[in-house]
Amino acid sequence: MQFTLWCAVSLAAPSILFVNRVFPPDRGATGRCLADLGGRLAAAGWRVTVVADGIADGTHRDAPAGVTVHRTGSAVPEGERPDARAYLESLGRLVWRAVRLPRHDVIVTMTDPPLLALAGPTLAARHGAAALHWCHDLYPDLLPVLGVRVPEALRGLAARAMRRALRRHDGIVAIGRCMRDRLTDMGVPADRLTVLPNWPDPAVMPVRHADNRFRRSLAAETGTEGGRFIVAYSGTLGLAHPMDGVLDAAARLQDSDPGVLFLLVGDGRGFAAVEAEAARRRLRNLRRLPWQPSERLAESLSAPDLHLVAMDPAAEGMLVPSKLSGVQAAGRPCLFLGPDGSEAAARVAGCGVVIDPFDGAAIAEAVRAYAADPGRCAREGERAAQRAADWTADRAAVAFAQLVPSLVRRHGPRPAREWIAPGRTAPECPAPDCSASACRVPHA
């Protein structure tokens, strides 16, 4: 269902400035979500500006209509995650570019680069604006999980500075309840926290195997036209995505279940170690494919029979794997290899299984059970697709727009305007057992 969003204002359309390192055509879930949201707000009459890294060509051909993009002039490298120095340099460029722009009503900082939230209150003060932090990853706490070595004294200093900065924001959007709870433990007032889950790429939808050119080409390349049960990990593979259990499961199934194929699609620094270990174990049932272009995303995500989403248990409350929403939009069941108390685990309920990421035996048994039961795959895939359809970019834009009045009121009397988002059907929050008082998703 498409939602119409518009705003009635007393003086002028509201203006909002987003600051993030990546923006399409750059890769990255934060950039894609920003483009989805910014385009819908602009279509509703908002003045939407984005500051991002990259080389400006003056055309904004990759930006949604109505979104103005200011590039810092430094190219965004594809593939590998930047190192600490590159992140700090990006932070300086983004802040310098944003501080020189005309005034906006709301300043939104995101989490790429990691410490961008530190600059949010300062940028907001420069613009006389409300400060909103859209938290996709919780730094600097996440750095050790990602394998980034920072001296303990320096990390402690950064953590204290981050806590102070977060408490100074007028509002914070967390993408999961476990992240909201962690932010509350850091001293952020509960009334400033909003849970808005990430949504799937609007281009992703279920594609039947019979109509899936990606699956057919894969079968032809591997000589398995009769079909194999494909278990896939798709997206960025980083150090926060443990694959030890998956490799163990592949080794266990290689001889006993030759009809099972493990497929790794994407890029990231974690792939090198996985491929090296697969070679050492001489795994014949594991295949690697490169990152797939956006126009093939629906087919590549629909090609597998079962998906894998991995998350280091130590990262609970610091991130929510963005790939899960795409998997569900493709209408496929999922094995979530991560902590059972996390937001991702709650979203998998009814359309997948939660397993310890290091338990190769349990992963192998789950894969074997799904491979033996096509009906279960179909039923859970349908539930997954419905769950994704219940929380779309359109509905997220409505919920996000509803935040603005309270932010501006909390910030102070300037400007004296009222934002209204009428003409909507209130969706239910996709998070099970959600507390409506702590969640800004419109509730029926």
Q: What is the pLDDT along the chain (444 residues), one digit of tens a residue?
A: 444 444 433 335 689 999 999 999 988 899 999 999 999 999 999 999 999 998 875 545 678 989 999 999 887 766 556 677 888 899 999 999 999 999 999 999 999 998 999 999 999 999 999 999 999 999 999 888 887 777 888 888 999 999 999 999 999 999 999 999 999 999 999 999 999 999 999 999 999 999 999 998 887 766 554 578 999 999 888 878 899 999 999 999 999 999 999 999 998 888 888 999 999 999 999 999 998 888 899 999 999 999 999 999 999 999 999 999 999 999 999 999 999 999 999 999 999 999 999 999 999 999 999 999 999 999 999 999 999 999 999 999 999 998 887 787 666 644 433 333 333 443 444 444 444 444 444 433
Q: How many residues does the chain have?
A: 444
State the Cα–Cα distance between residues 264 and 124, nearest whole angstrom. 42
Which residue reads 């014949």 in tokens?
A: 284
Among the listed residues 89, 59, 64, 61, the one whose alpha carbon sits nearest the alpha carbon of residue 75: 89
Q: What is the pTM of this model?
A: 0.87
CA–CA dist 330, 169 (Å, integer): 36
Other C-beta atoms closer than 10 Å to the C-beta of 110 total 27
CATH 3.40.50.2000 is held by the domain 15-199+392-425:
yes
Does 15-199+392-425 match 209-389 in CATH topology?
Answer: yes
Q: CATH number for the 209-389 domain, one of 3.40.30.10, 3.30.70.1050, 3.40.50.2000, 1.10.1060.10?
A: 3.40.50.2000
Domain boundaries along the sequence of the chain: 15-199+392-425, 209-389
